[in-house]
Chains A and B, each alone.
Chain A
Amino acid sequence: MATKALALHQTTVGKKAIMAVTGFIMVGFVIAHMLGNMQVYSANPAAALKAYALLLRSFGGGLWVARLVLLGAVVLHAWAAISLVKQNAAARASRYHVKHDAVTSYAAKTMKYGGFVLLFFILYHLAHLTLHIPVGAPAVADEFAVFERMKAGFEVPWISALYILGNIALAMHLYHGVWSMLQSVGLNHRKYNALRKQAAVAVALVVGVGNISIPVAFMAGIVG
């Protein structure tokens, strides 16, 4: 009866753990990123953001290490997700004629689609603000003129809308993902279990509201 031992990456439990660890890295990044973004609300946002960009760039090799870690996390996260989606679909090859979901959330059910939405949003976002490829917004010549580039983009309504939608997807992904991450690596404790869901809601709300506030602020003329 003894089955051949499977390696971590060969089991669904292992894949979920990989998703949890890579997810943790990305959650850390989006929180830090959102906090960095908050400099648009400083007294002199253009100068603050430029200084911030220069600071990051000054890390040189360190910045590239961080970028590679993030890229690795995205790749592993996506690989594990796709592999699980395929296995899960095969496990329910025959579908129900009528199926009533009792407790699961829209966020949980749409994780796989949300993941793709996020991937495309991130690619757009990188093109727009990191690689400076014109993506529908007027070009800004100065490489470190982050604020100006943001302003140029967010004054185009569809770009703002894209960012808002992208961040709604992010918040939903975080809402299910943060709780799920704790569950997948077995971080549960009767005394603190209630906190896990609350933490997920808090992370999703803070990151989502923080990020969405920026295009809204630009459009409303609060900043700019």
Chain B
Amino acid sequence: MELHSNAPTGPIETAWDRHRFEMKLVNPANKRKFTVIVVGTGLAGASAAATMGELGYNVKAFCFQDSARRAHSIAAQGGINAAKNYQGDGDSIYRLFYDTVKGGDFRSRERNVYRLAQVSVSIIDQAVAQGVPFAREYGGLLANRSFGGAQVSRTFYARGQTGQQLLLGAYQALARQVGLGQVELHERTEMLELILVDGRARGVITRNLKTGQIDTHTADAVVLATGGYGNVYFLSTNAKGSNGSAAWRAHRKGALFANPCYTQIHPTCLPVHGEGQSKLTLMSESLRNDGRVWVPKNAADVTKRPQDIPEADRDYYLERKYPAFGNLVPRDIAARNAKDVCDEGRGVGYPPEREAVYLDFADAINRLGQHTIEERYGNLFEMYERITDEDPYKTPMKIYPAVHYTMGGLWVDYNLQSNIPGLFVAGEANFSDHGANRLGASALMQGLADGYFVLPYTIGNYLARAGRDLAKTPVAEDHADARSAKAEAEGRLKAFLDNPGSHGPDHFHRRLGKLMWEYVGMARDKAGLQKAIEEIPKLREEFHAKVRVPGSGASFNQTLEKANRVADFMELGELMARDALAREESAGGHFRVEYQTEEGEARRNDDDFAHVAAWEWTGKGNTPTRHVEDLDFEYVKLSQRSYK
């Protein structure tokens, strides 16, 4: 299969403008004749649904949460990047583009990223007009901060709740369209299957989670804005409900899954406290500005209280290994080093794994005073104390890396259309803009760029061009392809309910998570990946044989929801391992132990792997096929990063 990015050629600065001009437009009077389905109401989904409703399309939006306002974009803390250059510190669209391509370790499509940087400025204008209360200076203008090692201040923020505020902005725009009758919103409704007719995406099968009713919704185009798949690891900073099922169902219907192995591990999360742990909590990365990371030099000291370990017996390993950047090395390096010291038996977390390192503020408190630290991190310290019952002003915090974001996702072209015509994918659910590693404060930017400023154009273009074909084959609920998709979904749920089984889905999910964390986690190697590819199918079989789902399908049944999601994770996890095995290089969030520099840095292989790997489903039990889209770097020169 040949993959075409469909990105415009010619000068990159004008590519998006030219592309938009070449698009066909839908006559305003005809827009209401088209129905667009949007699955997911996070930043990407809510903004897309709202904007297309404003344009006059018939929109049906779906979310599994009880309100569109609760999508997991809400949890993003840090901020959103935009090349406004309000600070006059040398930022520009080109610089944001450059930083994003480089930060993504040269594994993203230049033209997509350039467009992202371009529309970033409009996002801020739009959000402010909606009433998003961004932080401001005393003069009344917007405040910025530098984030994630960027050398310019381009991050806009609303306290530590930027995602919440941006999502509320998009949710309010969506609510307005619901109120006006332009968008039909289905909360507590989960997509179970994609409906394909003549190779085009023409609708979805959904389950009303409240009543258990399974419905058919037909449409002229389908947007998946269903977020990432970090919960494959069971423990992650994702919300408990976050899942990869919509994307995986589309994948099984033929949509290619790109770069599944690219996962971002966030270095500063709260460590695991025990077997019953259900999720991991992120602590803002800004803590590393003043905290010093250390573990005991001797494994024998890990059971001692930190205050009893003298300075001479402490190993400030980041400062030791990376004197220039110290505790501020990029996320992946900080994360991997934490794993290394814990693997050496020097971790200080809960036994038996002891997976945690200290983040110590004693020096900063001595230097700046407790008051200053309180001002900078008061709310974070309070949150830490609430969860761990330890006072970080007196005893060092314990932190450990956790899965945070997945750069991989369904393959899309420049129009954010998957290889299935009429199926568009936005936000974290697609693979597009972050390459192998996402920069801080770029996730919110991408979600909103896709939803507000890209999809409304590209879907319009698709509908304008395909309109006649779509009109010729109207798809009703009782269309044979819709019926078979529905039957497929019903069969799957029935199998869970009929299974005698012995354990709940969480039991198997936890075990999958452990396998993934062990073998497809922060550092991967060939043997481990092969082991994962061997073990996951076994676990999957055991899951299907032994999972127990009490209750009925015709009512609110959270166990059934989980079982259905875990089943898909069981397949997706294996694909991640296969992708990681096939990518014989280290890049961004994918670190292969075999491919590192002498200093232990990621070593890319641009000759063989400067491409997107897009996997094709070839049927149950078959090995998936790996397709390749080559990446060209016309503007940003390939270079190796170094933080020594």
Direct contact of A and B (CB under 8 A): yes
Q: Which residues of B lie under 8 Å from residue A2 when comparing CB positions? A: 179
Compute the total of residue contacts between A and B using a CB distance below 8 Å: 5
In the bound assembly, the distance between CA atoms of A1 and B180 in angstroms comes to 7
State the Cβ distance, B68 to closest chain A Cβ, in Å. Answer: 15
Closest to B180 in A: A1
B323, CB-defined interface residue at 8 Å: no
In the bound assembly, the distance between CA atoms of A1 and B175 in angstroms comes to 11
In the bound assembly, the distance between CA atoms of A2 and B179 in angstroms comes to 7
In the bound assembly, the distance between CA atoms of A217 and B179 in angstroms comes to 65
Q: Which residues of A lie under 8 Å from residue B179 when comparing CB positions? A: 1-2
In the bound assembly, the distance between CA atoms of A1 and B181 in angstroms comes to 8
Tell me what chain B mostly uses at the interface: helix, strand, loop, or mixed: helix
Closest to A1 in B: B179
Closest to B178 in A: A1
Closest to B179 in A: A1
For chain A residues 1-36, which have a beta carbon within 8 Å of chain B?
A: 1-2
Q: Which residues of A lie under 8 Å from residue B178 when comparing CB positions? A: 1
In the bound assembly, the distance between CA atoms of A2 and B178 in angstroms comes to 11
Q: Which residues of B lie under 8 Å from residue A1 when comparing CB positions? A: 178-181
> What 0/1 pattern do residues 176 to 202 of B give for CB contact below 8 A with A?
001111000000000000000000000
In the bound assembly, the distance between CA atoms of A1 and B185 in angstroms comes to 13
State the Cβ distance, A10 to closest chain B Cβ, in Å. Answer: 21
State the Cβ distance, A85 to closest chain B Cβ, in Å. Answer: 31
State the Cβ distance, B49 to closest chain A Cβ, in Å. Answer: 16
> What 0/1 pattern do residues 32 to 47 of A give for CB contact below 8 A with B?
0000000000000000
Closest to B181 in A: A1
In the bound assembly, the distance between CA atoms of A2 and B181 in angstroms comes to 10
State the Cβ distance, A4 to closest chain B Cβ, in Å. Answer: 15
State the Cβ distance, B186 to closest chain A Cβ, in Å. Answer: 16
State the Cβ distance, A177 to closest chain B Cβ, in Å. Answer: 35
In the bound assembly, the distance between CA atoms of A1 and B183 in angstroms comes to 12
Closest to A2 in B: B179
For chain B residues 519-569, which have a beta carbon within 8 Å of chain A?
A: none
State the Cβ distance, B181 to closest chain A Cβ, in Å. Answer: 7
In the bound assembly, the distance between CA atoms of A1 and B179 in angstroms comes to 5
Q: Which residues of A lie under 8 Å from residue B181 when comparing CB positions? A: 1
In the bound assembly, the distance between CA atoms of A67 and B178 in angstroms comes to 52
State the Cβ distance, A46 to closest chain B Cβ, in Å. Answer: 67
In the bound assembly, the distance between CA atoms of A41 and B181 in angstroms comes to 70
Q: Which residues of A lie under 8 Å from residue B180 when comparing CB positions? A: 1
State the Cβ distance, B540 to closest chain A Cβ, in Å. Answer: 44
State the Cβ distance, B177 to closest chain A Cβ, in Å. Answer: 10
In the bound assembly, the distance between CA atoms of A48 and B125 in angstroms comes to 73
In the bound assembly, the distance between CA atoms of A1 and B178 in angstroms comes to 8
State the Cβ distance, A193 to closest chain B Cβ, in Å. Answer: 22
State the Cβ distance, B268 to closest chain A Cβ, in Å. Answer: 34
State the Cβ distance, B182 to closest chain A Cβ, in Å. Answer: 11
State the Cβ distance, A89 to closest chain B Cβ, in Å. Answer: 26
For chain B residues 130-188, which have a beta carbon within 8 Å of chain A?
A: 178-181
State the Cβ distance, B178 to closest chain A Cβ, in Å. Answer: 7
State the Cβ distance, A2 to closest chain B Cβ, in Å. Answer: 8
State the Cβ distance, B183 to closest chain A Cβ, in Å. Answer: 11
In the bound assembly, the distance between CA atoms of A1 and B174 in angstroms comes to 14
User: What residues of chain B have their CB less than 8 Å away from a CB belonging to chain A?
Assistant: 178-181
What are 5 contact pairs spanning A and B, CB under 8 A? A1-B178, A1-B179, A1-B180, A1-B181, A2-B179
Nearest first, the 5 closest Cβ-Cβ pairs linking A and B are A1-B179, A1-B178, A1-B181, A1-B180, A2-B179
